[in-house]
Amino acid sequence: QVQLVQSGAEVKKPGSSVKVSCKASGVTFSSSVINWVRQAPGQGLEWMGTIIPTFGTANYAQKFEGRVTITADESTSTAYMELSGLTSADTAIYYCSRAPNSGYAHAVDYWGQGTLVTVSS
Amino acid sequence: DIQMTQSPSSLSASIGDRVTITCRASQGISTYLAWFQQKPGKAPKSLIFAASNLQTGVPSRFSASGSGTDFTLTIDSLQPEDLATYYCQQYNSYPLTFGGGTKVEIK
C-alpha cells in the first residue's frame, strides 16, 4: 500500500533551521508530485511548496520564498523540506502529500502522518 | 492568488442527516478542486479529486459537484465517524490554496 513516512518531531531554537523528510513507498516516486503543507495550532492548511522529483525544480509560496528549500532524492524516494530562520510562528505540523504527475494539474491522493516542529527558546 | 471561501465554517447535524458544504473560488478553476477530511489529531485524508470523483475507498455517502467557481461536498446520512473538519483546495494554479475549513460536529 502507498505510504508517506515523515521524520520525527523536532524542537528548534529561534533563528535555526529544520529539515523534514518524507519517504514514499508503494508508489512510483518518479511519476509523483510532492507537496509540503503546514498547519499551525488550531489553524487551517497552508501550502508551502511543490516539487516534481523527475524535474527537480520546486514551486514555492511567496510567503516562504527565500526561507524554504524543497528537494527530492529519486534514489531513495524521499523528499525533503528545509525551513530556515525559524520563529515561534513556524511552530506547526508539517505534512507532505503526494499527487500523481499526470496531465496539467495534480490532485493529491496520499498524505504523510505529519511532523510537529516546535520553535522555542 | 485564487481565494477559496468555504461555508459554513462549522455545523452541527444529527446522525442520518444530509450535510452540504460549499466552496467558492475567487476565479474560475474548471474542475481542479479537491476535498480533504481531517479528523481530530490526524493527518488530512483525500476524499474527492477533479471536483466530483471519489478517491479509492471513500464511502459512497460522500459526493461532490461543481465547476468554475462554485462547488459542493455532500454527506448523505451523516455517520459518527464523519466528525471532522473538511477542506477544499484548488489545484488549477500556483499558489495552491485551501478553503478555511468546515468543522462538522455531531448533535
Q: Which residues of B touch A110 (CB under 8 A)?
A: 46
pLDDT at A117 (0 to 100): 98
Confidence of residue A104 (pLDDT cuts 50, 70, 90): confident
Cβ of B103 under 8 Å from any chain A Cβ? no
Are A109 and A101 in contact by the 8 Å Cβ rule? The answer is: no
Contact A113 B91 (CB under 8 A): no
pLDDT at B55 (0 to 100): 96
Instruction: Using CB atoms, pick whichever of B44, B50, B99 lies closest to residue A95.
Output: B44
- Inter-chain CB pairs, A–B, below 8 Å: 55
Share of chain A above pLDDT 70, in %: 100
Q: Which amino acid is located at B92 in the chain?
A: N
- CA count, 13 A, side-chain hemisphere, A83: 27
Decide if pLDDT at A63 tops 80: yes
The Cα–Cα gap between A58 and A51 comes to 4
Instruction: Using CB atoms, pick whichever of A44, A62, A112 lies closest to residue B87.
Output: A44
**What is the mean predicted confidence (pLDDT) over A7-29?**
97
Are A81 and A38 in contact by the 8 Å Cβ rule? The answer is: no
- What residue ranges of chain B have pLDDT lower than 70? none
Confidence of residue A105 (pLDDT cuts 50, 70, 90): confident
pLDDT digits (tens, 9 = 90+) for B56-81: 999 999 999 999 999 999 999 999 99
Share of chain A above pLDDT 90, in %: 93
Cβ of B50 under 8 Å from any chain A Cβ? yes
Please give the C-alpha separations between residue B49 and each of A33, A72, A110, B29, B79, in angstroms, as whole numbers. 15, 25, 12, 13, 22
Calculate the average pLDDT of chain A: 96
pLDDT at A45 (0 to 100): 98
Are A79 and A24 in contact by the 8 Å Cβ rule? The answer is: yes
A74: its cell numbers:
529519486
pLDDT at A103 (0 to 100): 78
Contact A107 B94 (CB under 8 A): no
> Residue B107 contacts by C-beta under 8 Å, 6 or more apart in sequence?
B12, B13, B14
Whether residue B80 is preceded by a cis peptide bond, meaning omega within 30 degrees of 0, is no
